[in-house]
Amino acid sequence: MAQTWGPGEGAPTPRVHARDAFDIRGRDSSATVRRRPAMNKTPKPRRRRKKPRTRAAIGLVCEGIRLGSEVLPLVAGSVHYWRIERAAWRPALESIKSLGLRLVDTYVPWGVHETAPGECDFGQRDERLDVAAFLSLSKELGLYAIVRPGPHVNAELTYFGLPQRVIWDAACQARSASGRPVILPVPPLAFPVPSYASEAFHAEVAQWFAAVGNVLGPLRWPAGPIVLLQVDNEGAMYFRDGVYDQDYHPDAIVRYGRFLQQKYQTVAALRAAHGDAAATFARADPPRRFAAVSALELAGHLDWAEFQEQLLADAFARMREALIGASLGGVPTSHNLPLGEGATPLDPVLVGRAVDLVGLDYYHGASPPQRSEIARRTTDLSVRAELRNQPAFACELGAGFPPFFPPLDEDDNAFTVLSALAYGLRGFNVYMAVERDRWIGAPIDRYGRRRPSANFWERLLSALERTRFYSLRREAQVHVVVPRSFRRLARVLHAFGPLSPALFSVIGAGPEEACFEDDLGLESPAVLETARFVRRLERELDARRIAYAVVGGDLVQSAVERGRWTIVASSGALEPEIIDCIERAHETGKAVSFGPRLPERDSMMQPLERVLKLHRRANGVEPLLDPNGLSALVESAARKLEIVSLSAEPESVFVTLHSDSSGKPRVAFVLNPNEKGCDVRLGLDLIASDALDGAAIHAKEGSLELFVPRRSVRMLELTAPG
């Protein structure tokens, strides 16, 4: 069922407590009050009440966003109104519309608009700051809008778009383990980052949202073009997201105590888990550095990592409620996870409870490691979105790059968007669609004129519309489940201090390259061993052309129900709820395997009270996969489970298929991330043409033959013969 919102509403509707059930005069409106009828009075005829005017529903669906009876594909282009001359607004918006984009995306930067505490310029002094006029023009031109009022916007702005006075307010600053402000060393000027726990910071944010709401509240759909609001931006603690990097702000410490109390309920349970006879909820002191020497001593460290996940989600929920209170409810909300999100404290499950749509940012180059990373990130996003009946959305999909970022050329951008679409992406925001300062390589210049690279985006968007790609589905037969507890453990064991684990993920590295090698009494380094197992498994599945998805532990039930084979990455520790799900699945004959270890501990690294019972094979498939014999085990399982694979040569290319609701293949992607072009032969007995340029693909003896240039992806439109 699609999520829908009415006027002035947020979603989901906040729970109303009994104490809130009073009308504006303070009377109890939850009780039924009986009144004695008046005597000797002729009753007046009842006036027919007019039906209240209803606002057409707006909601997210797999194909995009539903606006009344219309479904709009979620394809947008970023334009920063304050960074270009007002005279360029119209040509810029007309140019992004000419590409086939349906929405304009823009930040509303707090630090740019604020002129003094509590005072903002929305065009009264500087005409470029008239965001209401910019959005009204967008509506006039037939474009809808995604608006991102922060408070953090980044956007390569100094202080990431926050006012300087807030940045330098000690009450708002995140704190390091030593109690000092946490500095982000980023061009053009290093600055102390705000605390997501700070009450002072949230009070400032609420005032900013109130100012924005006064201006933009009337421009929400259907009266205006705003159909999606983003809450904050890339909320990974401003990229100072190491477990012991921050946040030791006093307000965070108080929240940590509450978190522990909610989790453990009793002081006795807390002391037993942390191995600290003096621990209390009121005086909870988080670990300030990694000091565990055995697995049993990890609980306190893992709790601190888990708390950071909850802290961020709670902050987003609080910001979302502030937006609703500022007359900006009634439309869906979103948040974007940055590169390397799996190595940050951003848990998509918790973030997905705080906002309505969780999307990803994509800034990748064309290379084999980056192809693998795009596949991992997008398959999880796609499965997650489909279960929520939402589009798998890229909140930022790079077109160009900032000057202090590794250069990304047009081939990198094309490779990234086509690869993401190949693995399940169904909507994206071209960032940046229009050039501005501190950005290089947008398809439209700062005067609204199209550059040659704009032609690619126009052809792509035309192909997506023609093939009805937004309604197609890539089916994964195998699911590789990577539990949140494993990602949390990898964060705790990160060996490079303030160098974020996400940084290693961005460059194609991971726990193998960044985690401590100590075995903590587990006989071998469990995190390194598990990370290597997952990568080997991916290579084996890729080699056999088996369609698979890498998903989080919260999706294990869906994996079991929808796929043919589920493989859980287990470091020897696992959430009890995942174990319960797997046991039930195994008892009903579902094919489930673990690797490299069977779980013997829970997610807090404490010994399990009972041993997992997987003594028999399911459908002839081994429950425990030996990494040394992985190739033979995957081959055997694929044969016994009748997992379909696609014939394709050479081995160095990758292929994905996308089918319509009847199961007919409609689109195929052929990915060549390598430095040499190659001739490819696909075992598809279909008629095919290049979806972007219309060129026919040669068919021979039930196969398709085509050339795929180096570092590129070809999108094929498929039809059945005859």
Which single residue is written with the structure tokens 């000057």? 403
565-570 and 548-552 beta bridge pairing = unpaired
Domain 648-719: give its CATH superfamily. Golgi alpha-mannosidase II (2.60.40.1180)
| Sequence-separated (6 or more) residues with CB below 8 Å from residue 35 | none
Q: How far is CA 545 from the centre of its chain?
A: 27
Chain position carrying tokens 């498994």: 537
Residue 672 near residue 711 (C-beta atoms within 8 A): yes
Helix axes 410-422, 368-387, angle to 10 degrees: 40
Helix (H, G, I), strand (E, B) or coil at 659: strand
Q: Which helix (H) or strand (E) holds 681?
A: strand 678-682
| 543 CB neighbour count, 10 Å cutoff | 13
**DSSP per residue over 490-512, as a string?**
HHHTBSSTTS-HHHHHHTT--HH
Give start-end residues of each CATH 3.20.20.80 domain in the chain: 58-157+196-240+307-471
Q: What confidence score (pLDDT) does residue 44 get?
A: 45
Q: From 515, 553, 507, select the one nearest 531 (Cα to Cα).
A: 515
Phi, psi of 707 (to 5 degrees): -105, 135
Q: Class for domain 478-640, per CATH?
A: alpha beta
75, 99 Cβ separation under 8 angstroms: no
pLDDT tens-digit profile of 363-374? 999 999 999 999
The whole-number pLDDT of residue 18 equals 30
Query: Cα dist. 349→105, 314, 354, 482, 656 in Å?
Result: 25, 12, 9, 14, 27
pLDDT of amino acid 538? 98
Helix, strand or coil for residue 687? strand
CA dihedral 365, 405, 233, 76 (to 10 degrees): -50
Residue 399 near residue 441, CB atoms below 8 Å? yes
461, 451 contact by CB (below 8 A): no
Residue 539: partners with Cβ closer than 8 Å, 6 or more residues away: none
User: Quick one: 2 exposed, middle or buried, by C-beta within 10 A (0-12, 13-18, 19+)?
Assistant: middle
Q: How far is CA 543 from CA 148, 270, 367, 646, 713, in A?
A: 42, 47, 17, 10, 18
pLDDT for residue 53:
46
pLDDT in tens, 43-56: 444 444 444 444 56
Instruction: Compute the half-sphere exposure of residue 224: CA atoms within 13 Å on the CB side of its CA.
Output: 24
pLDDT given for residue 2 in this prediction: 52
How distant, in Å, are the alpha carbons of 87, 122, 285 from that of 93?
11, 20, 52
Q: Give CB contacts under 8 A, 24+ apart, made by 289-297.
A: 289/177, 289/244, 290/243, 290/244, 290/492, 290/493, 290/516, 292/520, 293/520, 294/520, 294/521, 295/520, 295/521, 295/522, 295/573, 295/601, 295/605, 296/521, 296/605, 296/606
Q: How many CB atoms lie within 10 A of CB 609?
A: 7
Structural contact between residues 358 and 658, judged by C-beta atoms closer than 8 angstroms: no
Position 443 scores a pLDDT of: 98
> What's the rounded Cα separation, in Å, for the pair 137 and 350?
36
Count the alpha carbons within 13 Å of 663 in the hemisphere toward its beta carbon.
0
Q: How far is CA 678 from CA 7, 624, 710, in A?
A: 55, 38, 7
| Residues recorded for the chain | 722
- Residue 548 pairs in a beta bridge with 478
Mean of the per-residue pLDDT values of the chain: 90
In 276-432, the DSSP E strands lie at 333-337, 357-362, 393-398, 427-431
Contact 505/342 with Cβ under 8 angstroms? yes
What's residue 55's pLDDT?
Answer: 52
Q: What pLDDT is recorded for position 614?
A: 65
Residue reference for tokens 């026919």 = 696
Looking at CATH, the fold of the domain delimited by 58-157+196-240+307-471 is given as TIM Barrel (3.20.20)
End-to-end CA distance of the chain: 37
Tokens of 483: 């539990």
pLDDT of residue 90: 98
∠ CA 236-321-222, rounded to 5°: 105
Q: What pLDDT score was predicted for residue 539?
A: 97
pTM: 0.91
Q: What pLDDT, on the 0 to 100 scale, is given for residue 347?
A: 98
Which residues of the chain are modeled with pLDDT < 50? 1, 6-54
DSSP string, 335-355: EEE-TTGGGSS--HHHHHHHS
Q: Which of 577, 621, 619 is nearest to 599 (CA)?
A: 577
Query: CATH 3.40.50 occupies which residues in the chain?
Result: 478-640
Which residues make up the CATH 2.60.40.1180 domain(s) of the chain?
Answer: 648-719
The b-or-e profile of 636-675 (16+ CB within 10 A means b, else e) is: ebbeebebeebebeeeebbbbbbeeeeeebbbbbbbbbbe
Contacts of residue 633, Cβ cutoff 8 Å, sequence gap at least 6: 622, 625, 626
